[in-house]
Amino acid sequence: MSDILDKFGKLIVEKLRDRQIDLFQGLINGKWRSKESKELHAKLSKLTQEEKQVVADVLEKVLENSMHDFLFAIQESNDLDSGLKVFMDGENVAELSDGLHGEIFTEDGWIERFSRHKSVYENKNSNWIKKLFS
């Protein structure tokens, strides 16, 4: 696999997934001090552990679907030779992959290799959601 593609994948995972999971963890733990964050923390604090788990599962699924759709849009735009082109270190990332949108999944995909928060779906015994509530 291309080092450039991995560099792009690491950026996508860190900025589009891990940052948002960190934000959610901060909300659950009352870490953030803005008025809006305090209000969300208060609402989340009223939920049961099971309800918090459902919210966390939904968050992860939404993040992964958003990443997939964003990457698919990049790939499709490149394949149709119109619109969006994304370059990393001078290389068109869509041309380095046979399907950017599939790069995030599987045991050797970008999430598994680059995320600080392992997927609840890919690695059920060691994931960020269970760690958050333990």
Dihedral angle sign, alpha carbons of residues 89, 20, 122, 100: negative
Note the pLDDT of residue 134.
Answer: 56
> Which residue, chain included where needed, has tokens 């996508």?
12
Note the pLDDT of residue 118.
Answer: 73
Comparing CA positions, the residue from 93, 59, 89 lying closest to residue 75 is 93
Between the alpha carbon of residue 108 and those of residues 35, 102, 118, the distances in Å are 40, 11, 12
Note the pLDDT of residue 126.
Answer: 45
Residue 21 CB partners (closer than 8 Å, separation 6+): 59, 60, 63, 117, 128
Average pLDDT per block of 10 residues along the chain, 134 residues long: 92 96 94 96 94 90 96 96 94 96 92 85 52 60
Note the pLDDT of residue 53.
Answer: 86
Q: What is the pTM of this model?
A: 0.85
Locate 130 and state its tokens.
Answer: 């269970």
Structural contact between residues 88 and 15, judged by C-beta atoms closer than 8 angstroms: no
Q: How do residues 23-58 score in pLDDT, each as one tens digit?
A: 999 999 999 999 999 999 999 999 998 898 889 989
